[in-house]
């Protein structure tokens, strides 16, 4: 993977129903979370504000400047429940098996080469606890609006096909607005 991800500094955060997203992602106020491709923390920071002491968010991204900005923002706000880490999510994750209650990826998957996606899903499966949740936010298959070109967009059926070999079961789907959706899977 490149040191500077394609969409570094960009975020879908302004195009989503934020309450709906966090209601879907949060599985407990003192749970352990994994933000895959966190950038500068557009999702991790508001999630951390909603959680209680004892929660933890591992925020991983290859973009060093984004991780540094996230660490500084968390420090400035006194959010000790975020652990920013420079990491290539296309490689094995440096987290223990079964250490995560809920993982999420917000409009990042479409930027990853198709060849690395199964490995990432295997790693998500490995680090999640049984009954853990994986939430995927992606752009709808539209030929307009923000986000990647139509050919790079990941439809709901494509997302299902990617996670099913790893035992994930679709739990819910939410329309986040005109351009994005969220699908939540459970690890049996």
pLDDT, the chain, mean? 91
pLDDT band of 2, cuts 50, 70, 90:
very low
For position 148, what pLDDT does the model report? 78
For position 177, what pLDDT does the model report? 85
- Tell me the H-state helices in the chain: 18-25, 44-50, 64-77, 117-127, 156-163
Which pTM was predicted? 0.91
**Got the DSSP string for 30-41?**
T-EEEEET-TTT
d(C-alpha 70, C-alpha 42), whole Å: 9
Q: What is the set of domains in the chain, with CATH numbers?
A: 13-186 (3.40.50.150)
pLDDT band of 52, cuts 50, 70, 90:
confident
Q: Is-contact 45 73, C-beta < 8 A? A: yes
Query: Of residues 4 and 135, which shows the higher confidence score?
Result: 135
For position 143, what pLDDT does the model report? 84
pLDDT over 70 percentage in the chain: 91
Q: Does residue 89 register a pLDDT over 90?
A: yes
For position 6, what pLDDT does the model report? 53
For position 49, what pLDDT does the model report? 95
- Stretch 78-100: mean pLDDT: 97
Q: List phi, psi (to 5°) of 45.
A: -65, -50
d(C-alpha 100, C-alpha 156), whole Å: 24
Q: What angle do CA 144, 146, 150 make, to 5 degrees?
A: 50
Q: What is the pLDDT of residues 116-172, one digit of tens each?
A: 999 999 999 999 999 999 999 999 988 888 877 888 899 999 999 999 999 999 999
d(C-alpha 53, C-alpha 72), whole Å: 19
Nearest to 80 by CA among 40, 104, 100, 52: 52
pLDDT band of 107, cuts 50, 70, 90:
very high
138: which 2 tokens? Answer: 């992606």
Q: What is the pLDDT of residues 12-31, one digit of tens each?
A: 566 677 889 999 999 998 99
- What's the distance, CA 145 to chain centroid? 21
């Amino acid at each position: 993977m490149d040191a500077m991800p394609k969409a570094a500094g960009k975020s879908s955060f302004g195009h989503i129903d934020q309450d709906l997203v966090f209601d879907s992602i949060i599985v407990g106020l003192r749970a352990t979370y994994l933000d895959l491709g966190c950038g500068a923390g557009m999702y991790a920071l508001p999630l951390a504000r909603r959680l209680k002491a004892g929660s933890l968010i591992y925020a991983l991204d290859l973009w060093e400047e984004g991780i540094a900005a996230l660490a500084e923002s968390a420090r400035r706000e006194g959010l000790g429940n975020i652990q920013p880490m420079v990491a290539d999510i296309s490689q094995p994750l440096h987290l223990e098996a079964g250490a995560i209650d809920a993982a999420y990826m917000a409009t990042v998957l479409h930027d990853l080469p198709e060849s690395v996606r199964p490995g990432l899903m295997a790693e998500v499966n490995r680090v999640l606890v049984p009954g853990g949740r994986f939430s995927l936010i992606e752009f709808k298959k539209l030929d307009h609006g923000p986000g990647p070109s139509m050919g790079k967009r990941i439809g709901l059926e494509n997302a299902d096909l990617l996670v099913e070999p790893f035992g994930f079961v679709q739990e819910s789907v939410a329309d986040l607005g005109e351009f994005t959706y969220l699908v939540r899977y459970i690890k049996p």
